[in-house]
């Protein structure tokens, strides 16, 4: 499968939980804005925990859709590692930006 | 000057053989599969029949590699195939439920499977106005048609179809039978369904699954006694 097609499929999968995940990231950024570096450790654990919950719920309630990606050559492990990695990258980026813009 | 190599490629596509044997599956103390031997070849449609709960879906999932079992031997051309679900160019599997994410449109699904949407619309004209409709908004039968179409038409050495005819109208069943007859020229097809007649109509050989074992069966009369 060609690279653009792989990216397209990964984004489709990421969209299935993007809204929930982005709300978590956004609220973490707001909390960091309010409380600063002392809360960083709590936010990191909070994000990891919600990622774990996302993994559990998608695996449970959307497990039938994994056959779509398998039939197109994308393994479950690739789907999860890339999308959760991207999600964590977004979380870290937003926290860094919040840190820089914070008064 | 050396003569040119006059070798010409064979006119027919390469014939491959998918073989599953020595499959053992137990749920708790209850043996489900124990004496399996099934072979599917390019150019042939292989039917699999059996009562509810005899393990037809489990057998397909074991061949596909996504259901763990006690023992398993699946080969293509005698080469072991430990995880076929990672190699869609070799084996694709259509489960008995809709597996396509509901947000996708028929056009996008065809694109993902490297197929032309026009081919789908020509085979089933009802899809002409549904090109950009999310498939979760389509009827159950229409969703099923797309499931069957993309798996059977996509490039792969073998496809396995679990209950393709259920939920379809007689006219749609006839069209799917035609598509499968065309596609078997390029691939091997393993198919199971509770509707026995279409399986008998299109299969080149039929296996029955009973008491955990597969037996090759020829005439429909003997199968109806066995089931």
- Inter-chain CB proximity B88 and A65 less than 8 Å: no
Q: How many domains does chain A have?
A: 1
Q: C-alpha A27: how far from its chain's center?
A: 14
Residue among B133, B139, B183 at smallest CA distance from B161:
B183
**Cα–Cα distance measured from residue A20 to residue A18, given in angstroms and rounded to the nearest whole number:** 6
* CB proximity A36 to B under 8 Å: no
Most confident of A84-88, B3-7, B29-33: A84-88
Evaluate whether ipTM surpasses 0.95.
no
pLDDT value at residue B217: 87
B89 in a structural domain: yes
* B7 in any annotated domain: no
Q: What is the mean pLDDT of residues B156-160?
A: 97
Give the domain range for residue B127: 17-226
What is the domain-level CATH number for residue B52? 3.40.50.300
pLDDT digits (tens, 9 = 90+) for A63-92: 999 999 999 999 999 999 999 999 999 999
Sign for the pseudo-dihedral over CA of A12, B85, A76, B143: positive
Q: Which of A2-11, A69-78, B6-15, B103-112 has the lowest mean pLDDT?
A: B6-15
Number of domains comprising chain B:
1
State whether residue B134 sits within 8 Å of chain A by CB: no
The span from the CA of B165 to the CA of B173, in Å, is: 6
Give the DSSP letter string of chain A: --HHHHHHHHHHHHHHHHHHHHHHHHHHHHHHHHH-GGGHHHHHHHHHHHHHHHHHHHHHHSGGGHHHHHHTT--HHHHHHHHHHHHHHHHHHHHHHHHHH--
- The per-residue pLDDT for B2 is 40
Decide if B10 is inside a domain.
no
Taking residues B107-113, what's their average pLDDT?
Answer: 97
The average confidence (pLDDT) of chain B is: 89
Say if the Cβ atoms of B95 and A64 lie within 8 Å.
Answer: yes
The average pLDDT across A7-22 equals: 96
Domain that holds residue A41: 3-101
Are the beta carbons of B86 and A65 separated by less than 8 Å? Answer: no
pLDDT digits (tens, 9 = 90+) for B65-88: 999 999 899 999 999 998 899 999
């Amino acid at each position: 499968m060609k690279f653009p097609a792989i990216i397209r499929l990964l984004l489709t999968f990421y969209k299935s939980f993007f809204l929930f995940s982005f709300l978590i990231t956004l609220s973490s950024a707001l909390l960091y804005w309010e409380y600063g570096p002392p809360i960083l450790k709590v936010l990191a654990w909070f994000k990891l925990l919600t990622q774990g919950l996302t993994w559990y719920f998608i695996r449970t309630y959307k497990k039938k859709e994994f056959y779509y990606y398998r039939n197109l050559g994308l393994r479950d492990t690739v789907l999860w590692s890339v999308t959760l990695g991207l999600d964590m990258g977004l979380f870290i980026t937003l926290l860094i930006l919040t840190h820089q813009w914070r008064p | 000057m050396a003569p040119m190599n006059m070798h010409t490629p064979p006119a027919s596509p390469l014939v491959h053989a998918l073989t599953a044997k020595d499959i053992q599956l137990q749920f708790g103390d209850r043996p489900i599969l124990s004496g399996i031997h099934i072979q599917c070849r390019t150019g042939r449609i292989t039917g699999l029949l059996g009562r509810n709960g005899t393990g037809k879906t489990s057998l397909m999932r074991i061949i596909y590699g996504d259901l763990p079992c006690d023992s398993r031997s699946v080969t293509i051309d005698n080469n072991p195939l430990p995880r076929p679900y990672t190699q869609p160019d070799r084996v694709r599997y259509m489960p008995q439920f809709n597996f396509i994410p509901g947000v996708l449109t028929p056009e996008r699904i065809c694109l993902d499977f490297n197929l032309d949407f026009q081919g789908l619309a020509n085979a089933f004209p009802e899809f002409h106005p549904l090109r950009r409709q999310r498939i979760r908004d389509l009827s159950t039968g229409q969703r099923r048609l797309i499931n069957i179409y993309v798996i059977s038409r996509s490039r792969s050495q073998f496809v396995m179809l679990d209950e393709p005819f259920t939920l379809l109208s007689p006219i749609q069943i006839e069209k799917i039978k035609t598509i499968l007859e065309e596609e078997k020229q390029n691939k091997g097809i393993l198919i199971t369904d509770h509707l026995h007649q279409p399986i008998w109509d299109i299969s080149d050989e039929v296996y029955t699954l009973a008491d955990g074992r597969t037996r090759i069966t020829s005439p429909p009369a003997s199968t109806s006694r066995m089931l």
